[in-house]
Amino acid sequence: MARVAVLVPADDLEEAVVECLTYAVCELGESNVYVVGAASAARIAGLVGRVASNVLEVRGGGKARAVREAVEHFELLERYDAVVIIDGGTLVLPGFGRAAEDGLILPGLGSLWEIEPGSRPKLLLTRANGDTPEKTSAIVRKSGGIGVLDDSVCVLCPAYNEEPVLDRTLMAAAAEVGPRNVYVADDASLDHTAHSANFWTGGNVYTSPQNQGKSRALRGAIDHFALTERYEAVFLLDADTYLSSGHIASLQAKFGPGVAFAVGRIEADWVSDNFWVAYRAFQMWTYNALVRTPQNVLNVINVLPGSSVLISSETAREIDWERASRLVLDDYSMLCDVWYGKLGKIVYLHDTPPADTTQPLSFRAYLKQTYGRWWPGMWQTMRDRRMFTKTDWFSVTNNLQVLTWVWSAALPVTMPLLFWLLNGTVAVFALLITFGLLLAQAYILGGLYAYHTKRPRTLILLPAFVAVQYLESVLFTLGFFKSFRLEQGGRWESPARVEATITERG
C-alpha cells in the first residue's frame, strides 16, 4: 500500500474543519495528517489531539503558498508516496488511504492523481464543489484523465517576478490538467518564481537566458519542451489568473477542427471594497455580454485576452512570435495573425467556469496598465498592421469600435461646436439628452449586473463608473500619440501584488 499523507489548509478551526481532521486521523493515523494556516497549534491540540505536532502556522500569502511551504517544511514528497490536499469540510472515508494506489476519486469532491510505479512522489489535490454534499458514501474508480478529457492539452504560464501570485495560479492549473501537463516560461525572474514553478510542475520550467519579453519566453518554452508536437492545444495562462474548476475542460469540449483560439469567460478577481476592481468587474461583465458575445456570432472577435486562451498547436506553429515580441501587446498581434493569415476561427464560450484575473488596486496602477500599455499598444499594433486601410470584415468592425471610443472622447469638443452651429437652448438640451441616455444605459446594465452578481453596491458607484468610462475613451485617444514613442519589445514589469486582499475560490 502506498503511504499517503493528508494536508488540510485551515485558517479558522470551524466545526467542519475539526470534523475533517477527526475523520482523517481515524483513517490514516495522527502522524500522517498535517495542518497549515493561521490557526494555532495549541488550539488544534485541544480539539484534535496530538495531530497538532504536524501543524505549520503560516499567516498571509494565500492558501496555495501555504500548501507549498508546508509540503516543503515537512518534506512530505520525500517521506510519502502521495500527499493529498483537502479543504476543510471534506470527509476522509474508509478506504481513502488505498485510493492513491488505484487512481480513485471521491465523487463530487475532486481528483486523486494516479501514482505511476517508480516515479517521483506526486502532489494530489482535491477540490470541493459548491454543490457537494457534506458526506460521500463511497469511493469509485476514476475514468479518463484529470480535469480535462485527456492529456492532449497543456498549460503554459509566462512569468516574470511573479512569486507572490504564482502558487495560487499553478495550484489551480495543476488541478485542471495534472502537474505533468503544466509548464512555466520563466523570463529570467529575479525572485523565487522558478522555485515555486518547479514545485507545482515537477520541474517543467524553462528559464530564458535573459529577460526578453513574454512572446520570446513563450516561444522558448514551446520549442524547449516541443509542446506543439506533443499536445493538440496549448492553454496560455498569465501568472495572475486563477482558473475555476472545469474552465479548460469546457473549452476543450468545444475545440473542434478549424478553431484557432477558444476563449472562456473572464472575470475580475474580486477584492472587497476596492473601487477599481469593482469598476473593472462591471466593465468585463458588460463587455462579455454586449460586445464579445455578438462578435462571436459574427466571427469578428477583436480582443484576445492574453491572460487565458486555448490555442491549437497548428495555430501556434503559424504565429509570428518574433513580430509579436517587437510589440507591446503580443496577444493583439497573435489575433491579427489568425485573422489575416486565415488560420481558423476564434470561439468565445460565455458559460464556462470563470478565469479570474487580478486587477489594478489603485488609480496609479490602473493608469500604468491602460494608458501605459494597453491603449498605446493597441494603436501600435493597428499601425503595424496598417489596419486603417484594410477593408476586410475584421478590420472594418475593429475600426468602427475604435471610432466610437474616439467619438466619446471628443464629446466636450463637439458640444461647443453644436452650440455654435445651433442656438444655445438646443445645444444645452442636446447635451442633457446625451448624458441622460448614457446614465440611463449605465443604470439598466448596472441593474442587471447587480442582480446577476448580487452586488447592489454597484448602483451607488455607477455615476463614478460613467466618469471613468469617459476617462478611458480620452486615454485611448491620447494613446495614439503615445504609440509613436513606445519602445520596441514586449518586456513587462509585474504590478505590485497584494496577496492578502485576494479572495480565493474553493
Q: Is the pTM of this model over 0.85?
A: no
**Sign of the Cα pseudo-torsion (99, 104, 107, 110, in order):** positive
487 φ/ψ sector (left φ>0, alpha ψ -120 to 50, else beta):
beta
> Boundaries of CATH 3.90.550.10 in the chain?
145-506
Q: 285: buried, middle or exposed (CB in 10 Å: 19+, 13-18, 0-12)?
A: buried
Q: 30: buried, middle or exposed (CB in 10 Å: 19+, 13-18, 0-12)?
A: middle
> Given the C-alpha cell 487565458, which residue does it identify?
308
Provide the total of helices (H) and of strands (E) in the chain, helices listed first. 21, 17
CA dihedral 12, 17, 22, 24 (to 10 degrees): -110
Q: What is the pLDDT of residue 442?
A: 82
Total Cβ atoms within 10 A of residue 139: 18
Around 501, how many Cα atoms within 13 Å sit in the side-chain half-sphere?
A: 14
- Enter the C-alpha cell of residue 254: 468545444
Total Cβ atoms within 10 A of residue 67: 25
Q: What is the pLDDT of residue 107?
A: 36
User: Are the beta carbons of 483 and 372 closer than 8 angstroms?
Assistant: no
User: Are the beta carbons of 473 and 408 closer than 8 angstroms?
Assistant: yes
- Enter the C-alpha cell of residue 293: 458575445
Q: What is the pLDDT along the chain (506 residues), one digit of tens a residue?
A: 557 788 888 776 677 777 778 878 887 888 888 888 876 666 666 666 666 778 888 877 788 888 889 989 998 888 877 777 777 666 666 666 555 445 444 333 344 433 344 444 445 554 433 333 333 322 333 333 334 445 789 999 999 999 888 999 998 888 888 788 999 999 999 989 999 999 888 889 999 998 888 889 999 999 999 999 999 999 999 999 999 888 998 998 888 888 999 999 899 888 888 999 999 999 998 888 888 888 887 778 877 777 889 999 999 999 999 899 888 888 899 999 999 999 988 888 888 889 999 888 899 999 998 998 899 999 999 999 999 989 888 899 889 888 888 888 877 666 666 666 666 666 667 667 767 777 788 888 888 888 888 888 888 999 899 889 889 999 999 999 999 887 765 566 655 554 433 334 33
Total Cβ atoms within 10 A of residue 196: 29
* Residue burial 483-504, b: 16+ Cβ < 10 Å; e: rest: beebeebbbbebbebebeebee
User: Are the beta carbons of 308 and 266 closer than 8 angstroms?
Assistant: yes
DSSP letter for 389, please.
Answer: G
Total Cβ atoms within 10 A of residue 31: 12
Q: What is the pLDDT of residue 31?
A: 86
Give the three-class secondary structure for 83. strand
> Given the C-alpha cell 482558473, which residue does it identify?
243
Kindly list the distances between the CA atom of residue 67 and the CA atoms of 58, 108, 124, in Å, as whole numbers in the listed order: 9, 22, 11
* Residue burial 150-173, b: 16+ Cβ < 10 Å; e: rest: eebbbbbbbbbbbbbbbbbbbbbb
Rg (CA), the chain: 25
Q: Is 3.90.550.10 the CATH number for 145-506?
A: yes
